[in-house]
Copies of this chain bind each other. A is one copy, B any other.
């Protein structure tokens, strides 16, 4: 990343982008190297960001994202209102099933998870809030892609489509049929598409203008072969969240077995 021609604001934002799930803490010299900036000017800007609370320093002097940035970020309406409205429904679904349940939105050509509940015992967690995953191998991703219009579907199907397991569907024609089935049935089941251990059952969440704004999914162990049994609960919860968000669901589609 060359940041020579960036404005001061853009450089500050580039500093924030240095931090990732895999690199949650960084030293001054690591940040300066990533930005290809002198240590001295990087240090000045790190001080400004730390003073405001966008960054924090740990006991060893390494920088990390600060609590105040998290606070301000928590105001993001696309995440906040959806989390607030969906949480009680996620809790009901979790309590009835004891499986991982999550809500995600489309951003660019990826899904971003905004809320999740998981148990000690359930399939291991793959998606913390803020995690991004690709569209084609995830249940929420396929639901969001299916409702995102021909243009984006064509773009995603042009690939490349990465296989994550031996079962991941990467054939554009088969994927197109799967997406059409999602629109027809009102839900998606993705079996061992992203991880060999898990199957996802996902359904769309609609906003006040009836458009699909998010997707809800439950992750169940693939070995159980019980995914279909979760369809009514997932579709019902997604419809309840949609209604709570103000969607008028005029044409209910009964989920049918495929």
Contacts and interface: CB of A to CB of B under 8 A. Distances in A.
Nearest to A58: B77
A72 B17 contact: yes
Nearest to A18: B72
A174 interface: no
7 contacts: A13-B48, A13-B54, A24-B75, A58-B77, A65-B73, A67-B112, A87-B118
Nearest to A105: B67
Interface in A34-58: 45, 48-49, 52, 54, 56, 58
A176 interface: no
B65 A69 contact: no
A130 interface: yes
A21 B75 contact: yes
B10 A88 contact: no
Given A10-B48, A12-B9, A73 B69 contact: yes
Copies of this chain: 2
Given A7-B8, A7-B48, A45-B9, A70 B67 contact: no
Given A58-B77, A70-B73, 10 more contacts: A9-B9, A9-B48, A10-B52, A12-B12, A65-B76, A66-B78, A67-B78, A69-B72, A73-B130, A75-B130
A16 interface: yes
A129 interface: yes
A151 interface: no
A107 B48 CA distance: 18
Contact of A112 (B12, B25, B71): B71
A77 B119 contact: no
Nearest to A121: B88
Interface in A73-91: 73-80, 83-84, 87-88, 91
Contacts of A70: 73-74, 76, 78-79, 114, 130
